[in-house]
Amino acid sequence: MAGKPSGPGTNEGKHDIEAELARLREDVSGLAEALKAEASNRADGARQQAFALRDDVRERGERYMRQAQDAASDLEEQLSERVRAEPIKAVLIAAAAGYIYARLFRR
């Protein structure tokens, strides 16, 4: 007795191809989901690093601003002490600076 032919043109062959295509679709779908999850994880990691960097930069900026304010306050205090100690000298220096400024920027 001769068996049924099984090949690409038969129903059995078509069923095998359809089953393979269904498996391939599932594999591709699973791969797409895995890639999507990996991309999402990497994006979350990058976002967390960016926020951490932003916070670090903000903290450093605030610290440098406080240091600059402290330095300016110290300088102002020293200048005030100098003016109190030698008021005539301070007035003469201010007058000389004003004269030089006026000479430089006169049109």
Domain boundaries, the chain: 18-106
What does pTM read for this prediction?
A: 0.49
pLDDT, block means (10 residues), the chain with 107 residues: 52 86 91 92 94 96 97 94 92 93 88
Residue-level pLDDT at 1: 45
Burial degree of 42 (CB within 10 A; 0-12, 13-18, 19+): exposed
CA–CA gap between residue 26 and residue 18 (Å, rounded)? 12
Residue-level pLDDT at 2: 47
Residue-level pLDDT at 34: 92
CA–CA gap between residue 95 and residue 16 (Å, rounded)? 101
